[in-house]
Copies of this chain bind each other. A is one copy, B any other.
């Protein structure tokens, strides 16, 4: 009878780990996001999981800025900022416009500022 919570044998076709509540397992599997969505979001979080890149995103959440001003603001080399911006660009977290020699970067999307803001709110309430 389906839907009944029961011990599973290691060979019932779901996986090789015995479990306690088969119902939860099936529901979780059904609700799980696609591998592509999970991979993309994990990549996004990974990019935000570096202090330098996170500070860049926070800086850009206030105003657009050029590479050298970001470097001056954070106290890091231009090379670090440029490499960091590339990673952020690849995950479409930032966009940029070029004005002569100068590249002005900005957040690509309002969600980014929301996400980071929500994150800081979380860590700041201890």
Contacts and interface: CB of A to CB of B under 8 A. Distances in A.
Contacts of A120: 33, 37, 41
Interface residues of A, number: 62
As for how many copies of this chain the complex holds, the number is 2
Most B-side CB within 10 Å, residue of A31, A72, A114:
A72
Secondary structure call for the A interface: helix
A98 interface: no
Contacts of A6: none
Interface of A: 8, 14-15, 17-21, 24-25, 27-29, 31-33, 35, 37-51, 54-55, 58-59, 62-63, 65-66, 68-69, 71-73, 75, 77-78, 102, 109, 111-112, 114-116, 118-124
